[in-house]
Structure 1
Amino acid sequence: MTKTPREMKRTLRQEALARRDSLDPLWRTDASLGFAVAVDEIAPPRGDIVSGFWPMRSEVDVRPLMVALRERGARLCLPAILDKSTIIFRELVRGAPLIDMGFGTMGPDESAAVLEPSLMLVPLAAFDRRGHRIGYGAGYYDRAIARLQENGHAPRLIGIAFDCQEVPQVPDEPHDVIIPEILTESGLRRFPSSL
């Protein structure tokens, strides 16, 4: 019996996350710190808005990279889950309180400004050499990116992952958002066919 693209993605997601989960925690921490080295390659102009994410489970911890981006003059924001299908991006200001966003993540509360990022650091479960991404299955980022694009914003998208999350090929689906750049512990990869 042939699997549907959704079923194939589920299998690829489980396998990639199992590889990520099996990474030594100390190595993962050290590798996450190393992501900040890429700041010179990815830093947007001063004052531009960058969305990061609060790491969950064994994800890359992008907070060191976010600090480096802030030091280069970026304004930071984090996703906030509004309902089962929508995320927005709230400004992350030094010293502001963070609240539980679900899924083990934290983010600014309702008093924080809602921003539209010009650079998005996008979490993912798996990716391929074409820049196709598998998320966690809820579609939050696909919808958020589509909404930004519909409103005339075309944020630069950089997927964040460890090398072990690469898969041979992600099955194509019409709603998928291609990520033209992926940052791993090996450096920034650009996918010319996706640009």
Structure 2
Amino acid sequence: MSSRERKAQLRGERLAARDAILPDERIEKSLAIASHGTDAVELEPGTIVSGFLPIRSEVDPRPLMAFLRDRNARLCVPVILDRQTIIFRELVRGAELVPGVFGTFGPGPDAEELDPDIMLMPLSAFDAAGHRIGYGGGYYDRAIHRLHQKGLTPRLIGIAFDCQEVASVPFEPHDIRLDAILTESGYRPFAGG
């Protein structure tokens, strides 16, 4: 089985496990994640943090994002521009969110585009070494690569439920490792993260 096929298999299995979490349980786990993240995510006032607005059965990072905003973080969320590119637009209280692709919503074109210092990243699966499997579109990988080309090295924190952990993610040289993972069990930094 090729690396791509193995990733697709793991993605399907872990997303099915995530989908099986009952809605009330998902809320409780998301609140636990927010509690752990509030204590673990260190930031200076004005730090730019990209979160995300949850779709389908994703972790809901909005409680954590609210705590970080209260600690004077500047929030942004990804907006898909086309089939290749996401950018990060500032998320301001009270600003209108507009529909995007894949059932997403985000700030409109009037919102400021920001380069995140910390990225809270959704994912399909992760392993204990900090390797991740996204949703297969490569949007975050390309966005991180663009930030690296600008000389920026955002801290990458995966946000997931425990059930999304796998024994081993097939890892290729171009894959970018997470600095840490945040689940309902707590915050786990990886070597070098």
| TM bucket, shorter chain | over 0.9
Correspondence 1:70-149 to 2 at 5 A: 70-149=69-148
Can you give the 5+ residue segments of structure 2 that lack an aligned partner in the other structure? none
State the Cα deviation string for residues 112-160 of structure 1 (Å, max 9, x = none).
Answer: 0000010000110000010000000000001101110110111011000
SS in 2 for 1:77: strand
% identity of equivalent residues = 59
1:32 corresponds to which residue?
Answer: 30
1:49 corresponds to which residue?
Answer: 48
Q: 1:173: how far off?
A: 1.7
Determine if contact 1:43/1:69 at 8 Å carries over to the other structure. no
Is 1:17 matched up with 2:15?
yes
Letter in 2 for 1:41: A
Aligned length: 192
Bigger shift: residues 33-42 or 69-78: 33-42
Is 1:181 matched up with 2:187?
no
1:172 corresponds to which residue?
Answer: 171
Determine if contact 1:99/1:106 at 8 Å carries over to the other structure. yes
SS in 1 for 2:100: strand
Segments of 4+ in structure 1 off by > 4 A?
none
TM-score (normalizing by structure 1): 0.96
Whole-angstrom distance in 2 between the partners of 1:70 and 1:180: 21
TM-score (normalizing by structure 2): 0.97
Can you give the 5+ residue segments of structure 1 that lack an aligned partner in the other structure? none
Q: 1:40: how far off?
A: 2.4
Q: 1:103: how far off?
A: 1.6
Letter in 2 for 1:30: E
